Amino acid sequence: MTPEHSGKAEESPRQRLLSAGTPMCAGCGGLQALHQIYDQVGEKTVFVNAAGCMTLLSIYPYTPFRGSWLYTAMACAPAGAQGVRDALDVLLSKGHIDAGQDQLPVVLTGDGSAYGMGLSATSAAIDRGLDFLYICYDNEGYGNTGHQYSAATPAGARTATSRVDGYTGVKKDLFAIWSAHRPAYVATVIGTEPADLARKVKKALSLRGPRLLLVLAPCPTGWGFEPSRMVEIGKLAVESGIWPLKEYSDGQVRHTRVPAKRAPLEAYLGLQGRFRHMFVPRRNEEQLAALQRQVDDYWEHID
């Protein structure tokens, strides 16, 4: 973006910091958000990446990152971030690097790790007050292995391991779990709301301690929609109220966008193959009403 084209400079840089050429699927909502986040967090970061779709970002000898990247097993990315932080602290204390060369450990995992396998290591890292940023790209299933259900899969969604009537559990509330630890910052974001996302990244970067950016990542492959509809579906997730945009800091939860009039949930569900069984061969009125009621109940208590 040229300076004379003012006003849009933040939205449209000449060059994105995160390089193209990654093996993420066409239309990946997680990659869209990561581009926006990386433009702000920059290259003075050490990404600690648990196994998942985004492990494939860096396949030797290729990486889209300008800064450092480290791969860990699925359950232990926050422990990896602790090691990186400790190592940097040792280098700082011995004078091998100065404060200007310090880097931010950034954990990057999918929902399988963030909501499930890695939760213990995450909880412990927050307990220790680890100074790190956690980015979870939540595509509501184990996307890299064929989209089996995870603890983040919403009720009723078909996955590779819940093929007929969909997932019978409920989506775990990771925002509440993180907030209950009283960390520095927790926020839900989505790449299709770039202004809200940019403000939250900025806020997260202004704080120290454990910080989570929980990104809903519309997934054409796992959710069953045409890649071209990714932004439409992301916007509907927010407008229908099923993905509330909110943040936690200083013991308070604030909703950053309260839809004045929520779109009907089925407008969101109906665009996705994983919910198709609720519409054909016949509409499952009971299930559709129950899911709508859950969204309505949530917002009833929000100002």
Partner 1 sequence: MYRIRFHGRGGQGIKTASRILGTALFIEGFEVQDAPRYGAERRGAPIFAYVRADTHPIHERGVIHRPDLVVVADETLLAISPAQVLEGVTDSCVVLIYSAKPEAWWRQQLPDIAQIVVLVPLESLSVAIPVGALCAGAAAALLGKVSAEALAHAVEEELSAHDAAMVESNRKAILAAYMEVTPWRGLVCSSLPLGVAQTPPPVWVNVPHDAVDIGAPVIHAGATSGLVKTGLWRTRRPVIDRERCRRCLQCCAWCPEGGILAGADGWPVIDYEHCKGCLVCAAQCPFQAIGVIPETQAEGGADAQTADRK
Near partner 1 in 133-152, by CB under 8 A = 146
Is residue 274 classed as helix, strand or coil in its secondary structure?
A: helix
Task: Measure CA of the first residue to CA of the last residue in the chain; give whole Å.
Answer: 39
Q: Which is nearer to partner 1, 15 or 252 (CB)?
A: 15
Q: Could you say which of 12, 120, 168, 206 contacts partner 1 (CB under 8 A)?
A: 12
Q: Is 230 in the site for partner 1 (CB under 8 A)?
A: yes
Is residue 189 classed as helix, strand or coil in its secondary structure?
A: strand
Q: Could you say which of 37, 50, 65, 118 contacts partner 1 (CB under 8 A)?
A: 65
Q: Is 28 in the site for partner 1 (CB under 8 A)?
A: yes
Q: Is 128 in the site for partner 1 (CB under 8 A)?
A: no
Near partner 1 in 261-280, by CB under 8 A = 277, 280
Residue pair 303/252 in contact (Cβ under 8 Å)? The answer is: no
Q: Could you say which of 177, 231, 253, 263 contacts partner 1 (CB under 8 A)?
A: 231
Q: Could you say which of 86, 202, 228, 283 contacts partner 1 (CB under 8 A)?
A: 228
Of 72, 147, 158, whose CA–CA distance to 117 is shortest? Answer: 72
Q: CB neighbours (10 Å) of residue 70?
A: 15
For the beta sheet containing 252-257, the strands, ordered from the edge strand earlier in sequence to the opposite edge, are 68-72, 45-50, 104-110, 132-138, 210-216, 185-190, 245-249, 252-257
Q: Is 6 in the site for partner 1 (CB under 8 A)?
A: no
Is residue 12 classed as helix, strand or coil in its secondary structure?
A: coil
Which residues would be at the binding site for partner 1 (CB under 8 A)?
Answer: 1-2, 5, 8, 11-16, 18-29, 31-32, 35-36, 43, 57-58, 60-67, 69, 146, 163-164, 191-192, 194, 220-221, 226-232, 277, 280-281
